[in-house]
Amino acid sequence: MPESIVTILDVAIGGLLLGSIYALIAMGLSLQYGVARVLNIAHGEFIMIGAFCTLTLYTVVGINPLVCLAIVGPVIFVIGFLIQRTLFTKLRTSAPNQAAYEGSSMLATFGFMFIIQNIALIAWGADYQAYTYLNFGVNIGGAIFSANKLVILGFSIGIGVGFYTFLARTRMGKGIRSAAQDATTASLMGVNINHVLALCFGFGAAMAGMAGVLYSMRITLNPFMGLQYTVIAIIIIVLGGLGSIPGAFLGGLILGLIGEIVTKIDPSLSLAAHYFMFLPLILVRPKGIFGK
Amino acid sequence: MNITAFTFKKSLVPGLLLVILVALVTLPIYGSLYNVILVTSILMYANLTVSWVLFSGSTGYMSLATAAFFGIGIYASALFLPTTGAVFPVLVVVLIGGLASSLVALGVGALTLRLRGIYFAIFTFVLVVLIMELGIWWELSVSHLLGRYVILVDNNVIFYTMLGIFVLVMLTTFFIRRSKFGLAMRSIGENEEAASHIGINVTMVKVITFAISAFFMGATGAIWATKLTYVDPHVAFNVLFSFMPVLMAIFGGMGNIYGPVIGAALFAYLQETLQTEFPEIYMISFGFILVAVILYLPNGVLGLIQKLWKRISGGKRAHT
């Protein structure tokens, strides 16, 4: 196969991989902001916690990182559920209006960012850490990819599609979608709104955690890595339209591809490129590409 | 209300302010070096908080760009006050820092102040991270530096400069609040549509206020850099400085001009104490305090005191 096609394939797979991770993270934040109206500044910290838990479970206990998905996901879900059920429910009911609630809940999540980061700092230290798993080459049509890339890609797309099906097909998913449209009306129609919003926050946090589990196979971890993913997730959900789950998924894939292309040109500019794209977009079309 | 009580009250506040000002100005004479440094960092936070409230408190636009303007000020010092061959005197650099920040604020404000609600907060938050990333890229690939050193300046000079900025920002806030301009700002905060319908040029008012508040943030950053002595983009554009003023303002209460100052002073003191007494759990406990403040003190410490005072003094003062 000619050199150029291999390069294109390489960038495409890399971009899809990054994009599918971004998509998971952004879907999580989209649930938290789009439905529960909490712009979670601590979103990236759940990724970091998921990644570090996997590192410990794999290197110390010897549990397969893919099995960790089934451990870390539910645990983080419960934590997220309880946070929303106790703290944000109190904030939501005592806030005079929607804007005040959005502002104060965002500030509270900033406090969480501090707490989680520093718990991680005490637990795992400030050094960069990494582990290797499934790090062997797989030959696809002449181009060689490491196996973990393909596993991550498969699992993250699987989780994303699975969750979308859950939203679209189940009764609970219907409740979540109705709360996303109008929380007050939904609660009048018999949706237990506090419960649904807590579910959303929990699912959002769990998706971030699972993204962390998957992505930990490929990156070096440190306690302060979360913020950049939070910012990327914010950019994607604005890109895709606040509250739109398919928008978050597609936006994630697009941003991942762009990030990979820029990385090919100048790696030190890739993060800046993400943000730079976002600024004109929010000015021209603040409702996002897929927003109504 | 009788006349004597009124004139007494009228002279009480300026008198008290004068006493505080004199106490601050003479602090380096009677206070220890530790106290001077502590008060300097309190003043730094107070400057940021008061200038944040100047814009966001009245117009209701939550700006998270404080760290960007503060960082631009810090970088002004890093560029013009390097350890080898400082180009300008400190005060000129402080001015440069302020002006650079307010120029950026003019540009950013003109572009973004059309965004409402959470979009403005998101935009300004991303702006800080963008500037930081661009700074890292610039240092790595253009200037080939990881960080920069800033000349050491005498602690008293830093203290007096910080105090000077503090007095200026307080006076600016005071006069803007009393002016027609301040009235226009508050009407934007209450109802922007209505404000523009009665003939207020809302965009101009917002952009100018944004630039004024950015000026003080930049100036504060420029003098703060001489205390840091080592500067890199992570230090200069730390998002912490975007959120701290908001939290301090909430902590103190935004209802009047003193609330943010009290909030900043209490919070900065708390931070210093926690940092020196319990360095291991300082950041965690700080996080818990932030969450607790949001949860239990929505009107700030002053609001709480006022509420308690009302309860103690009965219904008599309840509606004044």
pLDDT band, residue A204 (cuts 50/70/90)? very high
Whether the CB of B318 is below 8 Å from some CB of chain A: the reply is no
The pLDDT of residue A263: 82
**CA-based angle A53:A55:A61, to the nearest 5?**
85
**Which domain, by its residues, includes A199?**
3-284
pLDDT band, residue B314 (cuts 50/70/90)? low
- Model confidence at B316: pLDDT above 60: no
pTM for the full model? Answer: 0.85
What is the nearest CA distance from B80 to chain A, expressed in angstroms?
25
Q: Using one digit for the tens of pLDDT, what is the confidence trace for A128-182?
A: 888 888 777 777 766 777 888 888 888 988 998 898 898 889 888 888 888 888 8
- Model confidence at B8: pLDDT above 70: no
The pLDDT of residue B89: 82
- Model confidence at B299: pLDDT above 80: no
Residue A292 forms part of a structural domain: no
Total of domains in chain A: 1
Best of A282, A284, A285, A287 to substitute, by most chain B Cβ atoms within 10 angstroms, is A282
> What residue in A sits closest to B291 (Cα-Cα)?
A108
- Model confidence at B221: pLDDT above 90: yes
- Model confidence at B305: pLDDT above 50: yes
Q: What are A144's strand-pairing partners? A: A139
Q: What are A129's strand-pairing partners? A: A221
- Model confidence at B251: pLDDT above 50: yes
Whether the CB of B190 is below 8 Å from some CB of chain A: the reply is no
The pLDDT of residue B313: 66
Q: Using one digit for the tens of pLDDT, what is the confidence trace for A25-57?
A: 999 998 888 888 888 989 999 999 999 999 999
Residue A75 forms part of a structural domain: yes
Residue A79 forms part of a structural domain: yes
The pLDDT of residue A82: 92
Nearest to A288 by CA among A230, A236, A225: A236
Q: ipTM of the assembly?
A: 0.80
pLDDT mean over B123-144 = 85
Residue A76 CA to residue A78 CA, distance in Å, equals 5
Q: Which of A140-149, B54-63, B251-260 has the lowest mean pLDDT?
A: A140-149
pLDDT mean over B122-132 = 86
Residue A95 forms part of a structural domain: yes
Residue A289 forms part of a structural domain: no
Out of A121, A235, A271, whose CB is closest to B133?
Answer: A271
Q: What is the CATH number of the domain that holds A238?
A: 1.10.3470
- Model confidence at B257: pLDDT above 60: yes
Residue A290 forms part of a structural domain: no
The pLDDT of residue B213: 93
The pLDDT of residue B87: 67
